[in-house]
Amino acid sequence: MSDTYAVIGNPINHTKSPLIHGLFARATQQAMHYVAIEGPREPADAFAATVREFIAAGGKGMNITAPFKLAAFEMADERSERATLAGAANAFKFDNGRVLAENFDGIGLLRDIEVNLHTPLAGKRVLVLGAGGAARGALLPFLDAGPAQLVIVNSHVEKAQALASQGTPHGPVTACTYDGLARMGRFDLVVNATSASLTGDLPPVPPTVFSPQGTAYELAYGKRLTPFLRLARNAGVAGVADGVGMLVEQAAQAFLWWRGVRPDTQAVIDRLTVPLD
């Protein structure tokens, strides 16, 4: 008899999670079934009720995607340090009626950058554009990697400053305005953690922040050469990547948490990759 897992979000018809976890399960010979659930947005307690119904039906764990990551964090009985710092959860594990919450977005992003793209962050200058949920999830894993400097920039600098102050006990992190970036020099890694690319827009980032020997990373995936990646390429950056590797790596971390085995990710990344052109 197989165990049941799910991804919950709204909308959910675009999700790659059932495909990814299905491939993981076959590769690791795990007896599990994975489904997609479109969670209700209203009323306020509908998300928690849907999760409880899934638990009552025998569900073992869940991935959580937009717009429920904050609600997932709130309903959890126990939260990891990563989830606590992010203020959001993207994975549940159910243990004797208790809801355990994790956030694997940041650790999945870091693994894609350091392992798949062969770009260790130790001693490097790192720039993160945006101070929302994606940036919050990346903060602790990035600082644990030992960068020389981590700079968070946001259109509302107060939000970046608040996030930087949370990260200060863990490493060298500061906040900056977009206007201030012109004086910051080049960075070894620039990560676009804003939602601008989802609408074909470009964050107001000057091309001077890019190092030709560095890496530009776009969290959005499957959108080919976004305005952000095009700006980086035009600035001479050869190392550009989108977020498909992060998507697969965070899924692999959840799979490991649930099943005790970490699947190989490269074949799945290769299957989902859309050429950047």
Q: Tokens at residue 38, please? A: 């479109």
Collapsed DSSP state (helix, strand, coil) of residue 71:
helix
Pairwise CA distance, residues 243 & 230, whole Å: 15
The three-point CA angle 223-224-227 to 5° equals 85
Residue found under tokens 């990891």:
80
113-143 b/e with 16+ CB inside 10 Å = b?
A: beebbebebeebbbbbbbbebbbbbbbbbbb
User: Looking at 16, 69, 93, 124, which residue is catalytic?
Assistant: 69
Give Cβ neighbours of residue 165 (< 8 Å, ≥ 6 apart).
none
93 annotated active-site: no
- Active site residues per annotation: 69
